[in-house]
Structure 1
């Protein structure tokens, strides 16, 4: 098996496979929560990302002091040991946007996993924001590529979502539920922000589906919005499961450390799914990726891609895989 062509080479054209990100994007803006989250990431490993929040996390008038705190955490080699820490800056039209970007790239550019751009009103905001970021990278001589994530939470951004997803600097699209509902000026009821309502109100469902479809069409990662009922494990598990299995999201926000593990578990494939995927991928590889029959069902390269992606998701969520699978496909587990 180790000498056969790897699934990534056999099943995908160059540039065809999407960038794989951890399934959880954990947001925190208060110092105690940021420290706790970084310590938890150190224990669990890079199975979730951390986004340090300079938008909602910074007190009005205290943006510069908050930035210094964020930089101290970002640049701490013990706290940010896995290199999977990003930062949400202020919106492009906010007076603090340029200062945020410049400070982060100047003092922490080599340690940043990504930057999150919130509240673009249209494609032009994303283009201008990315252009400023790229100019800052060049100005400060930062060689490390810096992926850009963005929030779709305004009418204009949703209207331009396919063009935003197509932008070459964008790695991930997130849905901003609260701001999206608020943008309707009371036309969408508060219930649409609840666990049940956000999966049933037609305008919210439409937005979620358009974002997921646009992201997948351009090989980007769709990231599902928060669930505010953070004390209910069953609520977060139910929401994460629906986001992954009904709405096509491959990543989800958490806003409390207690939400991280339930989201990981909900996004992880089951043991039965993993076992089936291993059997089919191994049989396909042994057949040099020609069509095979497995348990009275025919499979070819189209279904092989699906089962390989099941294995990738298992690895990305920290599931236990057989040693031979780890050695053959993932170097190590």
Structure 2
């Protein structure tokens, strides 16, 4: 039996703070029928997995119809407030320099702040944009809502570390298509494809810069969309590259069929989960002192990795070994 005096997250993450943990999939929809279907699917998968395995971000920007912005913002607030208990619902508002930005914040944050897991701010260029968003949020509500930001230009990539350092920022996403377009034809259209976005040096460099900035400040790097939504194999391959090669711990979905491939790609293998559980339960018995496991020395530096692996398994709805389930009962 593992000891219950000290929870692994407390003993293992306090020393370095640890990166924040979010569901590995962030699903976007902006048309009413799709928003409602997304929330219904989220509720169904919560029942299936026993936890909320993906966020639903209700879109007021590029994924939403143009016109009647106030009515759409009111609908987003209504849907967020009506989501089932335990659901993670967010909203993407307009950019800070857009005429409807403050209106979005006033309506959505002003009426649904307690139900929002975060607010996504698109087209962030600098720390000043984050400060504007924070000010708008404070005007709209007295509640604290984490900010997620979308970096979509080469100038913004240069500011990634400053943006990630701001306490209100929880996650940074990479906007692939706008990033490519911002180069005036210097990057070919092929760099926006599932395969090409992992081959063009300037795109890969931007992705790595954002991931590095996030990890430097304990924030969550979220990988961009894959537009070939009818090709789940390509999507899963991209998700695996983002997770295993570029350091991303989260990814966008723009179609319901992309959610499960993202979950699979970001899930640790079953044998990895089993090994992590064995190492951590053995370490807990020794009060987290160094142990010999299979002829290999482990201490809190490696325990931290294995704990984060178990957290990711839990976030992706995997069945955890019985001996560690109590650690996640209220985690």
TM-score category by the smaller chain? over 0.9
Structure 2 residue 214 is the aligned partner of structure 1 residue 210:
no
Q: Secondary structure at the match of 1:172?
A: strand
Distance in 2 of aligned mates of 1:217 and 1:93: 28
CA distance in 2 between counterparts of 1:65 and 1:136 reads 17
Which segment is superposed worse, 159-168 or 291-300? 291-300
Instruction: Identify the residue that residue 98 of structure 1 maps to in structure 2.
Output: 102
1:271 matched to 2:261? The reply is no
Task: Tell me how far apart the structure 1 counterparts of residues 54 and 157 of structure 2 sit (CA, whole Å).
Answer: 26
Other structure's SS at 1:75 match: helix
SS at match of 1:114: strand
Partners of 1:4 and 1:286 within 8 A in 2? no
Counterpart mapping for 1:74-223 below 5 A: 74-76=80-82, 79-138=83-142, 142=143, 145-223=144-222
Match for residue 56 of structure 2?
50
Q: Deviations over 1:210-244 (max 9, x none)?
A: 00000011000000000011111111110111111
| TM-score, length-scaled by structure 2 | 0.95
The equivalent residue for 2:75 is: 69
1:14 CA drift (Å): 6.4
Q: Please, which runs of 5 or more residues in structure 2 have no aligned partner?
A: 47-51
Distance in 2, matches of 1:282 and 1:251, equals: 27
Q: Secondary structure at the match of 2:78?
A: helix
The Cα RMSD (Å) is 1.5
CA distance in 2, matches of 1:19, 1:332: 17
The equivalent of 1:316 in structure 2 is 315
Distance 2:244 2:91 in 1: 28
8 Å contact kept, 2:153–2:178: yes
CA contact (8 A) 1:25 1:48 kept: yes
Deviations 1:23-60 (A, max 9, x none): 00000011121111111100111100000000113333
| Paired residue total | 325
Distance 1:15 1:88 in 2: 31
Equivalent residue, structure 1, for 2:288: 289
SS of aligned partner of 1:222? strand
Larger mean CA deviation between 225-234 and 11-20 belongs to 11-20
User: The residue matched to 2:238 in structure 1 has which SS?
Assistant: helix
Segments of 5+ residues of structure 1 without an aligned counterpart are none
SS in structure 1 opposite 2:257?
A: helix
